[in-house]
Amino acid sequence: MAIQTPDWVKNAIFYQIFPDRFAQGTQQRLPYTIPLEAWSDPPTLQGYKGGNLWGVAEKLDYLQDLGVNAIYFTPIFQSASNHRYHTHDYYQIDPILGGNEAFMVLLEEAHRRDIKVVLDGVFNHTGRGFFFFSDILENGPYSPWVDWFKIEKWPVSAYNGSFPANYVGWDENRALPEFNHENPQVREYIMKIGEYWLNLGIDGWRLDVPFEVEVPGFWEEFRDRVKAINPEAYIVGEVWRDSRPWLDGKQFDGVMNYLFTAPTIAFTAGDRVVMDLVEGHDYYPYPALDAQGYAQKIESLLEMYPWEIQLTQLNLLDSHDTARLLSIADGDRATVELATLLLMTFPGAPSIYYGDEVGLPGRIDPDSRRGFPFEKEWNLEVLDYHKKLIALRHQYPALRTGEYKILGMQGMVYVFARILGETALIVAINAGTEKATAAIKLDPAVLKTQPSQVLYGDATVRWEAMQLYLSLPPRQGCILA
């Protein structure tokens, strides 16, 4: 059976939004006022800044101008946490975000601009405030929902850490009781949530820690039921490692591609990586890589999955689960530009974490979840190169679906081409601190043209027969067409 993935994802530029921190609507539409942290103050683990979906709707024109045509929201369902991974009700948008009314307005306004909307599905676990689990806390073994969770013995202790929880919580966190996916009623409940929001018009699901759900056939059924409603719906899993078990064409269309993230940071940031921001996490943007080491990592990644899957991977440089790249690279702006150039020219859908495009820093959670900066605080040079690179990706289909061919690597210079039919674009990166020259002999069977127009960046280009001579300033990259 041929693998089928959503065509729109191959042409998408995603923008990841952490809703509490992106934008507040100019009109307060809640029937009450609540105390909030000051927007520009450093974020805390548990405080709310009051970003909402009305605010996102008001910034859709900004996103469209940036070139974004898809949004991935971290969870927006009712919850007792600013990140909303502690779900209370899967059918209600959190009232602080504006409730279901705000979401439906946002969805309509996004679709009117041809912007897709993907929601975060937290289906491995829920919050202890989830109604079914609350019933267990009230009624113990007499609750009709006991078999929906992994209760080990009685009594359960959801809040008092002096006593054992006596139930399974994700990552041993008693605030996150795990569903019992062996229970067919639980399975059906989750399937119906997936269907419900698809029927209301969302364009896909990002699945939180889906590797924790090990019940045979679970994600195959989820895919079948989602695709029955919308064959073009996007299903992307949060899997940080080799994802071949889930990318067989029968489950997910892609994963959050941290196997691209890690070597891209290791190559562009090198020894600038602030180790205490990356050690102990599920990706490894270290040790530093030269061009040959980076090429080996990329070749391995491109051989790992079918091409149809490669084109619908969700590629990223950072997220709400990591420190921001600017901080990882110890404030080195050239790292971010080089990495963004590689992101925007790689097969799969690029994803920008809100604020990266205006130079927002951030160490590990909660600092990586700062309020989106006011316009006077934007780094306009960073915004400008994001716009240029996104526009080039939209302009040249080869950068989206063209074949990826590594052409050469010399020292810290990495050169590759994206080829589609008779069109070829060459991308070259000098990640080193010295001016570099590279001479690359090209096979005419691979590259039928000689791109020499500098579309982006700074380079001196010369061709002699099928020999390409490149001169690149330190810490610079270019795109040739």
Question: Which residue is catalytic, options 208, 318, 321, 356?
Answer: 208
How many Cβ atoms sit within 10 Å of the Cβ of residue 142? 9
**Tokens at 58, concatenated:** 């008001």
For the question of residue 271 being annotated catalytic, the response is: no
* Cα(340)–Cα(336) distance, integer angstroms: 6
Q: If we measure between CA atoms, which residue out of 299, 394, 417 comes closest to residue 344?
A: 394
Beta strands at 413-420 and 403-410: parallel, antiparallel or unpaired: antiparallel
The three state secondary structure string of 135-164 is HHHHHHHHCCCHHHECECCCCCCCCCCCCC
- Identify which of 293, 262, 295 has the alpha carbon closest to the alpha carbon of residue 278: 262
Residues 6 or more apart whose Cβ sits within 8 Å of residue 215: 181, 182, 187
Phi, psi of 475 (to 5 degrees): 55, 45
Order of all β-strands in the sheet with 454-457: 403-410, 413-420, 423-430, 476-480, 454-457
> Is 450 exposed, middle or buried (CB count within 10 Å of its CB: 0-12, 13-18, 19+)?
middle
The runs of H, that is alpha helices, within 230-379 are 258-268, 291-304, 307-310, 325-328, 333-344
In one letter, which amino acid is 39?
W
Residues 6+ apart with CB under 8 A from 430: 412, 413, 436, 472, 473, 474, 475, 476, 477
Does the annotation count 384 as an active-site position?
no
Output the furthest CA–CA distance in the chain (Å, rounded). 82
Contacts with 237 (C-beta within 8 Å, 6 or more apart), sequence order: 206, 207, 210, 211, 243, 246, 251, 252, 254, 255, 256
Q: Find the catalytic residue in 94, 120, 238, 337.
A: 238
Closest CA to 399 of 376, 375, 416: 416
User: What is the distance between the terminal CA atoms of the chain, rounded to a whole angstrom?
Assistant: 36
Q: Indicate which residues carry an active-site annotation.
A: 208, 238
